[in-house]
Structure formats: C-alpha cells, structure tokens
Amino acid sequence: MNPLLKVENISKYYGSRLGCKDVNFDLYPGEVLGIVGESGSGKSTLLNCLAGHQEPDTGKVVFDTRADGPKDTVTMSEPERRMLSRTDWAFVHQNPRDGLRMGVSAGGNVGERLMAVGARHYGDIRGTAVDWLDKVEIAEDRTDDRPSEFSGGMQQRLQIARNLVTGPRLIFMDEPTGGLDVSVQARLLDLLRGLVRELGLSAIVVTHDLAVVRLLADRLMVMKDGRVIETGLTDQVLDDPQHGYTQLLVSSVLQV
Amino acid sequence: MISIENVSKTFTLHNQNSAVIPVMVNANLRVAAGECVALTGASGAGKSTLMRMIYGNYLTQAGRIIVGELDIVTALPREILQLRRETLGYVSQFLRVVPRVATLDVVSEPMLAVGVARDTAHERARELLTRLRIPERLWLLSPLTFSGGEQQRVNIARGFAHEYPAMLLDEPTASLDVANRETVLSLIEEAKQRGAAIIGIFHDEAARKRACDRQIDVSVYTPRAS
C-alpha cells in the first residue's frame, strides 16, 4: 500500500520567527493522525502548509492523486491545487463561519461544492444535499434555512457535510470540536469516527484536546516550538509518553 | 502465537529529576494457540505493565515481543493498529468509549472494523449481551451510564465480539457475580477451543485455576531495589 500523503522536511518561517521546522511523516489511506501542542507550537501553521493555504519555505507535500499518482502539491500549479482542494481534499475549520457561506441556504452550501466539480442537474444536486444533511443529522425541513439560523453544533455538522459531499480522500481538521459544548462534541466525534470508518477516509486533526485525539486519532504527533518532539500510536504516546514535555502535557490534564 | 523474549522496560520521569525506574528485566514467556497462561505476582509486580507492552500501549526498551508474525517492539504504528484490529484483542479493566454511543454499537464496533456487515455484527452483539445478562432495555443506552459491573460486562462483550487469535484479559472476572463469572469462563473456554492464545490476570484463584493451563509469576522479572 502506498502512502496517501508523504510529508518531507516541511519548514515555515515568518520572517525570522519559526513557524514549524523539519516535519516529516507518512499518512496511509484510512489513517487518522492527531497533532497536539499548546498555542503557538506551530500545529496550525503546519496544517495550513499541508493543505496549501500557506506556502512552506522548504519541503515537499506529496499527495497520491487519482489521475497521476504521487505529486508534490507545493510545486503544483495553482489551478491544479485548487481542483485538489475541491475534490480529493476537505478542510474543516474550527469556526464554521470560515468554512460556510452564511448567506446561502444549508442545501445550497452543500450543493455549491457539487456544482464546483461539475454537477448541473438541480434535482440530483438537491437530492444528494438532502442525503448528506441527513447523514450529519440535519432534518430535511431545515434544507432551505440559512446556517446563520443554526446552532454552533449544527453549523459544524453542516460544514462537515459540505466538505464530504464530493467524496474527498483526505480531510484536514483544525480544532473541529473547539467551540462546542461537550454534549455536542461527543455526537460530532461519533459522527466523524463513523464516516472515517465507512468511507475509508484519511484525516489530519489539529487540536489541543487530548481526550478528542484519544477517541479520534490512530496516531499522534506532539509539537513544541515548531518542532515535532514525539510521535507514535495515540494511546501509547498518552499512556507512556517519552519526552519530558509530553509527560508534562499528559499529567496536566484535569480529571473529570 | 505470543512469544516474549528477554524483554525489559524502564520509565524515565523527565520532570522528576529524570528519575529512571526499571520495572521489568529479561522477561520471557511463550503462549501457544489454544493455551491460556495466567500472570501472577503481588500488586505492582508488573502484570498489567507486561500486558500493556504486549498490546503496544507501553513502549519496550529491549527484547522482542512477537504476536503472530509481528515484533511489537519494532513495529510501525499502523502495523500495530492492524494487529489490534484483526489479531490481538484486549479486555482492560475500564471501559473507554465515545460518550452517548449505544451499547449495541459499542459492542459491534470491533466487528465493523474488520468489515463484518452491520446486521451480522448487531446479531452477535445481541447474543453476547444476552449471555452476559445485560437487560435488553439498556442496549440502546450508552454504557457510560451503567453500574461498574455492567460496564465491565459490556467491555467483555466488546472484547469477545470479534474472534481474535490472541487475547489479553486484565481481570475479566473481578467484581462479577457467580452466574456472570461462569459466562466469562465459558467464553474463555470457547476462545481456547477455537485456538486463541490467551494471557490473563485473575485475582480470583478459583477462576484462574479453571481458565488457565499454567501460570507465570512476573515478580521474578521485577528488578530488585538495590
């Protein structure tokens, strides 16, 4: 089996300040990778470099494309990269407002992604949209409502539907459960786990919440000051951390 | 099926003056298919630690731990994940699941993960929950709302849902009543019959004698304080 994503020596500086440095990893189909670290550790910079939102200063992000096999997305042309981010990639933002069109109906938000990849038949688009809204537990009678009329949890689920409707193979998630109540968080986690398993998706999840990665991620990367200081199986890193910082991080979690 | 050769483990506590605590030295153990071996020794001797090392939950500093064809000590994370999905089951003392997921789905999950159809998985889950005397009215509720004993039985149902060729059982009969203890012992017996290699920790001596073919005292591998 070939890796879906091969990340080699990614570094990013903001002027003289370090964003992230020398990051290497492989992600295989069906795998969920968690990236944890405190604010400013470089995890969001890394995610943005991987997803093509920022250009890294050095390194390669090689994605196994459907048409041409492995290709470096950093040196790929802009239209090619945009096409990738509309089809094989998805990006779930922490704030659903960054990933949704707030003035467009829920059905429209999902349908728009389909139209971007060439769907034209209104009935089909609406049918698929309603189908996906149902998958993320948004009732059909809310299809024509705008996301601004939705609760935070519903907006986040709508963002996930909008992202997954085109059948991507890789999802980037930035604090997907960040602003949500714990009760809503649990439901979203279960939804994401089910979708990952049923659709065989790969995902990279950035979060500072260790409980979230324990339930969602197969593997874990711990970042500090822009560098990856520890990697491994999620439960192994959390239960038998090797690096001093990870030990501190794990032992600092409040018990409920 | 499971082979442990000259295995050693230390914990290094970086935030406590980098104290290095050796917890296991040169452990050896072999378990054949269809055999159940008990780990014994006083509390703190390292029974659960050894079990977690076999599962890849704790890192091992030296030696080899072979399960099936895979050396856990040097395996890649995704190789260990595949082994856990298909070959190596683990019933821990505590249930750890996504909140608000129905018991029936919690028990079905290991089967869905290896590609069993949802209907078939649910049927097997119902069968196990019935055998373990979890009342049917609870099946659609999250097990996190259950009593300790009920949670443990759900954990056991989940652990035995997929027929793993190798299993690790950490106190599977603790705090169970007589009838449920019998059920768990017969589940272990059935797993052995189909050829599973099992390593177990049993505080209950009668249960240990019934389930296990032999026992290993892990305190011989515990480093002496010098």
Taking an 8 Å cut-off on Cβ atoms, the answer to whether A242 and B12 are in contact is yes
Domain ranges, ordered by start, for chain A: 1-88+170-256, 99-167
Q: Where are the alpha helices (DSSP H) in B63-216?
A: 77-86, 103-113, 118-131, 148-161, 178-193, 205-211
Other C-beta atoms closer than 10 Å to the C-beta of A115 total 12
Domain ranges, ordered by start, for chain B: 2-221
CATH class of the domain at A1-88+170-256 = alpha beta
- Residue A131 to residue A144: CA distance in whole angstroms: 14
- Residue B187 to residue B175: CA distance in whole angstroms: 17
Transcribe A27-47 into DSSP letters: E-TT-EEEEE--TTSSHHHHH
Q: Predicted confidence band at A256 (pLDDT cuts at 50, 70, 90)? A: low
* B99 neighbourhood in chain A, CB within 8 Å: 186
Give A85's Cβ-side CA count (13 Å radius).
19
Please report, for residues B7, B39, B154, the alpha-carbon distance to residue B48 in angstroms, rounded to integers and kept in the order given.
14, 9, 20
- Residue B196 to residue B182: CA distance in whole angstroms: 19
Q: What is the pLDDT of residues B2-38, one digit of tens each?
A: 999 999 999 999 988 889 999 999 999 999 999 999 9
Structure tokens at B10: 């230390």
Interface confidence (ipTM) of the complex: 0.90
Taking an 8 Å cut-off on Cβ atoms, the answer to whether B100 and A190 are in contact is yes
Q: Span A98-119, mean pLDDT?
A: 91
Candidates A1, A33, A190: best to mutate against B (most CBs of B within 10 A) is A190
Work out the percent of chain A whose per-residue pLDDT is above 70.
Answer: 99
Asked if A60 and A8 count as a contact pair (C-beta separation under 8 A), the reply is yes
Taking an 8 Å cut-off on Cβ atoms, the answer to whether A219 and B78 are in contact is yes
Q: What is the pLDDT of residues A72-88, one digit of tens each?
A: 999 999 999 988 988 89
* Type of residue found at A185: Q
Neighbouring residues of B68: CB distance < 8 A, sequence distance ≥ 6: B1, B83, B87, B88, B165, B166
List the one residue out of B208, B206, B204 whose CA is nearest residue B216. B208
Candidates A236, A245, A249, A256: best to mutate against B (most CBs of B within 10 A) is A236
Q: Tell me what pLDDT residue B226 has.
A: 47
Q: Which of B12, B80, B98 sits opposite A186 (nearest CB)?
A: B98
**DSSP 8-class letter at B225:** P
Chain A residues in contact with chain B using a Cβ-Cβ cutoff of 8 Å = 28, 31, 183, 186-187, 189-190, 193, 197, 214-215, 218-219, 232-233, 235-236, 239-240, 242-244, 247-248, 251
Structure tokens at A157: 């689920």
pLDDT at A184 over 80: no
Kindly report the backbone phi and psi dihedral angles of residue B122, in degrees, each rounded to the nearest multiple of 5, phi listed first: -65, -40
For residue B38, what are the β-bridge partners?
Answer: B200, B215
* A251 neighbourhood in chain B, CB within 8 Å: 15
Residue with tokens 């004993």: B149
Q: Tell me what pLDDT residue A255 has.
A: 65
Structure tokens at A67: 């048409």
Residue with tokens 């049923």: A198
Give the distance from residue B186's alpha carbon to the nearest chain A alpha carbon, in angstroms.
30
Q: What stretches in chain B show pLDDT beneath 70?
A: 225-226
SS3 B148: helix
Asked if B182 and B176 count as a contact pair (C-beta separation under 8 A), the reply is no
Tallying the residues shown for chain B, one arrives at: 226
Tell me how far apart the 2 most distant CA atoms of chain A are, in Å.
57
- Residue A161 to residue B39: CA distance in whole angstroms: 49
Give the distance from residue A51's alpha carbon to the nearest chain B alpha carbon, in angstroms.
23
Q: What is the pLDDT of residues A193-227, one digit of tens each?
A: 888 878 888 999 999 889 889 888 999 999 999 99
Q: Tell me what pLDDT residue B148 has.
A: 87
CATH superfamily of B2-221: P-loop containing nucleotide triphosphate hydrolases (3.40.50.300)
* B112 neighbourhood in chain A, CB within 8 Å: 197
Provide the mean pLDDT of chain A: 91
Give the distance from residue A27's alpha carbon to the nearest chain B alpha carbon, in angstroms.
10
Taking an 8 Å cut-off on Cβ atoms, the answer to whether B77 and A218 are in contact is yes
* B98 neighbourhood in chain A, CB within 8 Å: 186, 189-190, 193, 215
In terms of C-beta density within 10 A (0-12 exposed, 13-18 middle, 19 or more buried), how is residue A122 classed? exposed
Size of interface A-B (CB pairs under 8 A): 53
Taking an 8 Å cut-off on Cβ atoms, the answer to whether A236 and B58 are in contact is yes
Chain B residues in contact with chain A using a Cβ-Cβ cutoff of 8 Å = 11-15, 52, 56-59, 77-78, 80-81, 96, 98-101, 112-113
Residue with tokens 């002027």: A15
Taking an 8 Å cut-off on Cβ atoms, the answer to whether B98 and A218 are in contact is no
Q: Tell me what pLDDT residue B225 has.
A: 59
The pairing of strands A58-65 and A69-72 is: antiparallel
* Type of residue found at A157: R
Structure tokens at A251: 């032992």
- Residue A26 to residue A218: CA distance in whole angstroms: 13
SS3 A28: coil
